Amino acid sequence: MSELVTKSVAQEQQERSVERRTAVKGITGFTIVSTAVAVLAVLATVVYAQSKYSLKSPGGIAFSDFRGYEDWAVVSSARTDEVLKVIVANPAMINAYKAGVPGNGRPFADGSMVVKLQWKPKKSTEAPFVVDVPDVFKQAFVMEKDSKRFPKSGGWGYAVFNYDAASDKFTADPQSLSDCGNSCHTAVKAKDYIFHPYQKR
């Protein structure tokens, strides 16, 4: 009888040991799969970022200079018949605006950057009133202040990066040197070539 009890206890311990090993293998397999999925997601993000931020305009302005612009603070907005625009600026430029630049007669410091994000508009089908909302993103018009690099244009460099929704890719606009860069902005030379003030909020 004691032999049967001993065998039964030994068998139970062996079965538990097998169950533990199986559970550990399952957890290990799940961990490996989860880690692989996470690594692939990071790689996909890096590839996307590289293709976007590896672009340079014909004038030598790198899109990577504006890295993080998606989260910059809003300066102002504008509207034409064809485009809805939101103007954002980097923290250095936002701080300058808040200190009174350019209304106080001082220019923006080197390192100031502004991006005009442009969408094709559409009529909202959800709002209970008539309103235009952004539809397809079209382009990012960028400006950066660097007096040494851009002495002939008031210290500002200009570029346009177009977006194609079908391919989900940005490209540097080959005509961006003449796309209303400095030639348009000379109209507001007294405001350090910047059209939009920091809007009250």
Mean pLDDT score across all residues of the chain: 85
CB 94 within 8 A of CB 111: no
Query: Please, which pLDDT band fits residue 26 given cuts at 50, 70 and 90?
Result: low
Q: What percent of the chain has pLDDT over 90?
A: 69
CA 110 – CA 163 distance, rounded (Å) = 27
Q: What percent of the chain has pLDDT over 70?
A: 74
User: Is the domain of 26 the same as that of 98?
Assistant: no
User: Is the domain of 89 the same as that of 161?
Assistant: yes
CA 2 – CA 180 distance, rounded (Å) = 96
Of 10-14, 17-21, 47-51, 175-179, which one has max mean pLDDT?
Answer: 175-179
User: Is the domain of 136 the same as that of 70?
Assistant: yes
CA 177 – CA 118 distance, rounded (Å) = 18
The CA angle 88-72-192, to the nearest 5 degrees, is 40
Paired residues of 116 in beta bridges: 87, 141
pLDDT at 51: 82
Phi and psi, residue 94, nearest 5°? -60, -45
pLDDT at 176: 79
Query: Please, which pLDDT band fits residue 49 given cuts at 50, 70 and 90?
Result: very low
User: Is the domain of 74 the same as that of 43?
Assistant: no
Instruction: Please count the structural domains in the chain.
Output: 2
User: Is the domain of 37 the same as that of 106?
Assistant: no
User: Is the domain of 117 the same as that of 137?
Assistant: yes
User: Which of 37-69 are b and which e, b meaning 16 or more Cβ less than 10 Å from the residue's Cβ?
Assistant: eeeeeeeeeeeeeeebeebebeeebbbebbeeb
Domain, as residue range, for 42: 1-53
Chain CA centroid to CA 130, Å? 29
> Where are the extended beta strands (E) located within the chain?
73-79, 84-89, 113-123, 132-145, 156-164, 169-172
